[in-house]
Amino acid sequence: MELDKLTITKASEGLRKKEFSSVELTKAYLSYIKKTDDKIKSFITVTEDEAIEQAGEADRKINKGEANNNFLLGIPCSIKDIINTKGVLTTASSNILKNYIPAYDATLISRLKKEGMVMLGKVNCDAFAHGASTENSDFFTSHNPWDQERVPGGSSGGSASSVAADQCIYSIGSDTGGSIRQPAAFCNLVGLKPTYGRVSRFGLISMTSSTDCPSIMAKNVIDAAIILEKIAGVDQKDSTTSSNEVDNYKEYLKDDNIKGLKIGIPSEYFLDELNVNIKEAIEEAIKKIESLGALVVEIRLLHTKYAVPTYYIITPSEVSSNLARFDGIRFGYSATNDDSVQAKNLIEIYCKSKGKGFGSEAKRRIMLGTYALSSGYYDAYYLKAQKVRSLIKKDFDEAFKKVDIMITPTTPNVAFKIGEHSGNPLEMYMEDIFLSAVSLAGLPAVSVPCGFSEPKDGKNEMPIGMQIIGKAFDEKNVLKLANVYEKNTNWHLKKPRI
C-alpha cells in the first residue's frame, strides 16, 4: 500500500484496522516531503518532531479504542502559513512576520487538534494572501506538480501543491476572492469555500475581513465534507460566525439522488475569452449531471461583470486597514484643499520609508485602499463599490428563487506559467473573474475536477475545475452535487508525475 496516496477515509480505515500506525503514516509523508519539496516548494516550515509526537498520541488513542467515528484522528495535513499555530512559526509568507511565533491557536486549529490532527507543517502562500500564484510570497514561488514551470495558483498555492503532490492528505487554507477554488482547479483537487461565517476567522491573519473564509483543500468531496463538519460552527471569539446548525455532511452524501435538482447556468460566466478546453469540459460536465436527473436552467447574473472591479476596491480598502498594525506607519491622512497632492506625497514617503518591509503587491493594495477611503474619494469609490456589492448579492438571491444550485467554470484559463502575469497586476486580478462575485455575496462554493486541457508543444495536459455554487449555509447540497458528479467521473483520480 502506498501510504502517501491515501485519502482521509482510506487512511482512517487503515489506522483502525491496524494495517499501519499514524507514526508510520506520518513518517511516510515526511519522507516524501524531503524527497519532493526541493522541486515543488510547498513548505515554509516542516514540523517533524511535533508531527511525530501528535501521531504517537493518535496511535495511543486508537489502541485504547478511543477513535470512535473520528476520521481525522492521526491524519497528516498541512496548514496555510496565514493561520496562527501556537508555538509554530507563522509568517503569512512575509518578511515582516518571518520570526513571528503565535502564543495561541486559531479556533479552527484548536478544533482540529481536538480531533487529533497531525500537522506536518506550514505551507507557502502569496504574502498576506495577496495574489493568485504564490509569486508574491516573500520567500519563494511554489510550483504546480502537474507542470513545474507553472504556478499552483494562489493565494493558497502551497496548500494546493502539497496535497496534489501527495505531501499530505489534506490542507487548510483560506479563500477571500477565490484563493482555495482557483488553486484547486489548477491542481486537480477539491477546493471548498464555506459560507462566510460558517467557519471562525479567529486566528486567521486578516486580509479582507468581510470576505475572508478559512477553507479546505482535499483529494475528494467526502474528505472535504468530513473536515468541514469538524471546523464549522459558532465561535464566541468571532462575532461574524453563524449559530446555524452544522449539518452531518458526510452522512448527507450517502444520498445520491439529484433527480429534479434545478441547476442554474449563468450565461455571464461563459465569455468569448473562456479557454476552449475549459468551455468544452464544463459543457460535458453539465451534460453528465443532466443525465443523472438534474434539470438545467439558464439564468442571468447581470452585475457579474462588475464583480472584479468591485472586489478590487473593497479588498484594498480593508487591506489598508488590516495591514496598518504591522509596520508602525499610518496610511491615512487628514483632508486638505488638495487631497490628490497629499495622497501623492504620502505614497512617495511610504515607498521610501518603513513600507519597504512590505512586498510590491501589499504596497499596491495599501495605496489603492488608502486612496479609495480618503476624504473626497470615499463616496466615489468605496461607497459605490459597496452598493454594487449589494446588487451582486441581490442577483444571486433572485436567481436562487428559481434554481437550487449554480454551475460555472472555476477559472477562465488553466494554470499559467511562472512569470507570465507577474508584470501585469490587472491580468493577475482577472484570474478571479468567476470567483470574486461568490465571495462578495458570501456564498458557499466548491471547485471539483472536471477535465484536462490538451497538451501543447510537448507540455503536460493541465487540470480544469468546475465551480458549484449554493445558497448561504447550504453546503450540504453543494457537496452532494459535487459528490454525485465525482462518483460518476474519474478526473479526480488522475495524479501528476513528479
What residues are labeled active site?
Answer: 80, 155, 179
- Cα–Cα distances in Å, from 162 out to 30, 84, 144, 173, 497? 12, 19, 9, 11, 14
Q: Is 298 helix (H, G, I), strand (E, B) or coil?
A: strand
Taken in order 64, 70, 71, 77, is the CA torsion positive or negative? negative
CA separation for the pair 169, 162 (Å, rounded): 9
Query: Are the C-beta atoms of 286 and 409 separated by less than 8 Å?
Result: no
The C-alpha cell at 455 is 497538451
Query: Are the C-beta atoms of 19 and 1 separated by less than 8 Å?
Result: yes
Q: What is the dihedral of CA 270, 274, 276, 277, to 10 degrees?
A: -90
CA separation for the pair 97, 316 (Å, rounded): 20
Beta bridge partners of 263: 296, 405
Nearest to 99 by CA among 89, 109, 85: 89
CA angle (79, 497, 167) in 5-degree steps: 20
CA separation for the pair 32, 177 (Å, rounded): 31
